[in-house]
Structure formats: C-alpha cells, structure tokens
Amino acid sequence: MDILQYTAAELGKKIKAGEVTVKEACEAVFARIEEKDKEFNCYITVDREGALARAAEVQKQIEAGTLTGPLAGVPVAVKDNMNTKGLRTTCASKILEDFVPSFSAEAVRNLEKAGAVIIGKTNMDEFAMGSTTETSYYGPTKNPCSPEHVPGGSSGGSAAAVAARECFYALGSDTGGSIRQPASFCGVVGMKPTYGTVSRYGLIAYGSSLDQIGPLCKDVTDCAIVLEAISSHDPKDSTSLDRTDTDFTSALVEDVQGMRIGIPRDYFGPGLDPEVREAVLAAVELLKKKGATVEEFELSLVEYAIPAYYVIACAEASSNLARFDGVKYGYRAKEFEGLHDMYKRTRAEGFGTETKRRIMLGSFVLSSGYYDAYYLKALRTKALIKQAFDKAFAKYDVIIGPAAPATAPKLGESLSDPIQMYLGDIYTVSVNLAGLPGITVPCGRDEKGLPIGMQIIGNCFEEKKLIRMAYTYECGRRKEGAEL
C-alpha cells in the first residue's frame, strides 16, 4: 500500500512496528509535495532539511522505546500563524516575510513532545482574515478536489494539504470557522475545541477572545488523537483552561443510542444550497437509524452572529496587529520621514487589502464616541447568543447543521464583495462567539463533485459527544461503502 494512503494513526502503527521508517514517511510526503504543490500551493515554506534531521532523531527515540505515542514519527503540516522556532513564520503576510521565531507555539511543542515531524508551514488568508485563502501574500491555495475552486479559509492550506495527501494531518486555527469551513470544502475532518482547551501561546493573534487551534485530519480517529496531544493547561496563556477530561480518544465509540440531536431550523432556511441541505439531512438520518433522537427547533439570533462577530474580531485585530510597526521584527518601509511616518508607511506597505479593511473597521468601532454603540453592543449580542445556545443544550446533546451555505466557490469570485463573503460564515461564527466546540465531517459531494461537510456543535467541554457522534457517522458511512 502507498504510504500516503495511511491515516496518521495507521502510519504511526506501521512506524512503531518497524514496517515504515520515519524517513520513508517524510520522503513520501516530500515527493508528493514536489509533484503537486506547484499547482495546489498548500505550503508557504517546506522544511525538507529540518524535517529529515528531525526524522532521524525521532526514529532513534522510537527504536529506543522513549517515544511510544500514536503520533511518533508522523509528518505534520502547521498553519503559518503558529510560531515554529527557527522556521520562518509569515502569517501569509508581506509584513512577516522574513520573520524567524525564537520560540515555538505551545501546541507545536506539544506535538513535538508526541514525536511529530514538521514538514512545513501551510498557506492561509493573511493574518487568518478571509474565507478562501486568496488574501495570502504568497498566492492562493487551490482546492485539491477541483483546482479551479478555493479550498476555503482561513486554514485553506492545512485543509488542502491533508486532502492532497501532502501531509498526514495538519494544525489550523479557527476564529470564525477557519478550520470547519475549509474542512468542509476540502472533504476532511476539522475540529475547533472549546475556547481555552489548546494554548494560544505562540499563535499569532487575530481575535484573541475567539481564536482556537485545532486539527485537520483524514478521519475522526486522527482528529481525536491530535486534539488529545495538543490540549494542555498552559500558564503562559491566561485564558488556558485546566481540564482533566482531554482523553478524547476514549470517545471513539460507535454508539449514539439515546443521544439527542437538535436541528436548528434557522440553519436550513433560505440561502442554503439544496444539495448541501439534502446531504446534511441524509447524514442526520443515518444517525437517527443508529438510535439518536432528532428534533427540530429554533435557535434564534443566527442573523446577528455575523455583525457581532465582525465588530469583535476586527476590534481585537486592530489592537493585536498594532505590534507590527517595523521596529523589532518584520518589514520596514524603505522611505519615511520620522517615526510616525515610518509606522504608517510600513503598515500600509506591509499589510494587504483585507487586513487593512479590518484594522480600519476595528479602530473605528473602538474609537471614542462609537465604542458603546458598536463594540459594547456586539459584546451584549454575544451574551444573548451564548444564552440561546445554553437553552438549546439544556434539551440536546449536540446541534447539527451545515458548515457552510454552499460548496467551495470558484477562485476569484469572493473578494470583490466582502459582505457577501462574510455571509458565508453564518453557520460557524456563533460557535466562536459562544466558545463552543465544533467538528466538520465530510457527508457527501454535490453534482460538481465538491465535498459537503456536516457540522456538529456541542456545549462547552463536550468534545467527547461530538467525537462519538462524528465517529459513529463515519463508521456508518464506511459500512455503506461511501468514499469519505
């Protein structure tokens, strides 16, 4: 069997059994990248030399029996907004073109402790601001399922790299759907955990109160394994939670008997592509056959999530991105008159259009005279959205809906109308506002052959219910002989 066909868990077992070496696994990935990445552009940086050196080291530790975990020796791709010590980290921006971090993100360190080998850094929307991976300074990523389409975003490079078998799994980050939506567009499994489950230390911040790191994988089993490996309580991130229930692989159980599924009518209304609707409802039908109960309900407030999200995310972004000033790292304008002019020109030349648009909006909604009307109003709306979810989870174990209103758009169709693009986040952003976990699982394809994803949303700390539900669905689909 071709090494690239293995899931991360399967490869980990083969490596442990001595049937595949870590070097062979890495070489297979590099050959695949060599063959495909000129077209797909999943990676901004590929670290062949570093990965092979690391592979030799990991191989020794596996043979010595000091590295025994399921991810030992398995090659991984990391979204380029997570710091990797000694390896260029650009955030897909010109302003960080030559930035080499002096430390690694905690999630990356956790993977390294588990024996992961980092292949490279994946493409994304600049500073994770976008839904198509077209705002990258390093060119767009193409959807491996159909290269004239976008892979989604902002973790488009990570989702595409998994789908194109240019890695065995990847890390992404999700501020308003940036893991779940590209997972849906590329036909892979992607999960955003409860806010605070994975440390944000070393994740270059976009909207700090919303950002979470999570896995993009070939199947639900890999997703649980990776999430278990990256979750940790980290004193370096003051919003990091001290959880003792992060043994997510224990939830890989094929049984949803008696579990209650809520179907929000507002997630299936006008604006939803009929093929997406049909595929998601068929998936729910399968879960019903497996013994889950299904009930429709009104979630409410869905249309207010996007405006609230953009106010909060842009406000936080305008503050977070103030650090890029051309002084300590990154790009600096060549010509300027004095300090303030240096800041303004550096930022004007270093940031792309979408990033500037969001910094401007964020600066405006935080400015004196508008702070109450916009920023506080959005935070109050967020409280109401959280209450609506609390009410729903009093009745249901999980909520199921689509991850996006349609399958992947064609390249070049989205950026001209920002509000239209933002509307594509309608089913994902409220999950970030309420801090909830969400997972996307492939559940079919449309007539064009583009993947459709089902999104399962859980209450805070209830990732295990999501994993159990997603795993049961995946087992059921496999038995039906569907290609996932």
Partner 1 sequence: MANIISDETIEYVGILAKLELSGEEKEQAKKDMGRMLDYIDQLNELDTEGVEPMSHVFPVQNVFREDVVTNGDDHEAMLANAPERREDSYIVPMTVI
Q: Which residues bind partner 1 (CB under 8 A)?
A: 98-100, 102-103, 195-196, 209, 235, 238-239, 241, 301, 303-304, 307-308, 310-311, 318, 322, 325-332, 336, 338-345, 347-348, 351, 356-357, 359-364, 366-367, 374, 376-384, 386, 418-419, 434-435, 460
Q: Which residues lie across from 380 on neighbouring strands? A: none
Q: CB of residue 362 vs partner 1: minimum separation in angstroms?
A: 8
> What's the CA angle centered on 37, arms 134 and 455, to 5 degrees?
55
- Catalytic, 367? Answer no
Which residues lie below 8 Å from residue 11, measured CB to CB, with a gap of 6+?
3, 20, 25, 73, 74, 168
Residue with Cβ nearer partner 1 (343 or 473): 343
Residue with Cβ nearer partner 1 (258 or 338): 338
- Residue 394: phi and psi, rounded to 5, are -70, -25
Neighbours of 66 (CB within 10 A): 10
Angle between helices 463-479 and 220-230 (to 10 degrees): 160
Look up residue 453 and give its two tokens: 């994803």
Q: CB of residue 383 vs partner 1: minimum separation in angstroms?
A: 4
Residue with Cβ nearer partner 1 (148 or 303): 303
Q: Is 438 helix (H, G, I), strand (E, B) or coil?
A: strand
Nearest 10 degrees: Cα torsion 75, 79, 82, 85: 40
Q: CB of residue 175 vs partner 1: minimum separation in angstroms?
A: 14
Residue with Cβ nearer partner 1 (146 or 212): 212
Residue 21 corresponds to which amino acid?
Answer: T
Q: CB of residue 367 vs partner 1: minimum separation in angstroms?
A: 6
Residue of 93, 136, 154, 155 with catalytic role: 154
- Catalytic, 178? Answer yes
Laid out side by side, the sheet with 169-174 consists of 43-46, 117-122, 75-79, 169-174, 212-217, 189-192, 438-445, 451-458, 398-402, 260-264, 293-297
- Catalytic, 199? Answer no
**CA pair distance 453, 468, nearest whole angstrom:** 17
Residue with Cβ nearer partner 1 (103 or 268): 103
DSSP H helical segments within 247-301, as ranges? 274-289
Residue of 178, 184, 240, 414 with catalytic role: 178
Q: CB of residue 248 vs partner 1: minimum separation in angstroms?
A: 19
Q: CB of residue 150 vs partner 1: minimum separation in angstroms?
A: 21
Q: CB of residue 343 vs partner 1: minimum separation in angstroms?
A: 5
- Residue 87: phi and psi, rounded to 5, are -120, 125
Residue with Cβ nearer partner 1 (399 or 443): 399
Residue with Cβ nearer partner 1 (323 or 395): 323
**CA pair distance 457, 189, nearest whole angstrom:** 14
Residue of 14, 79, 121, 464 with catalytic role: 79
- Residues serving a catalytic function are 79, 154, 178
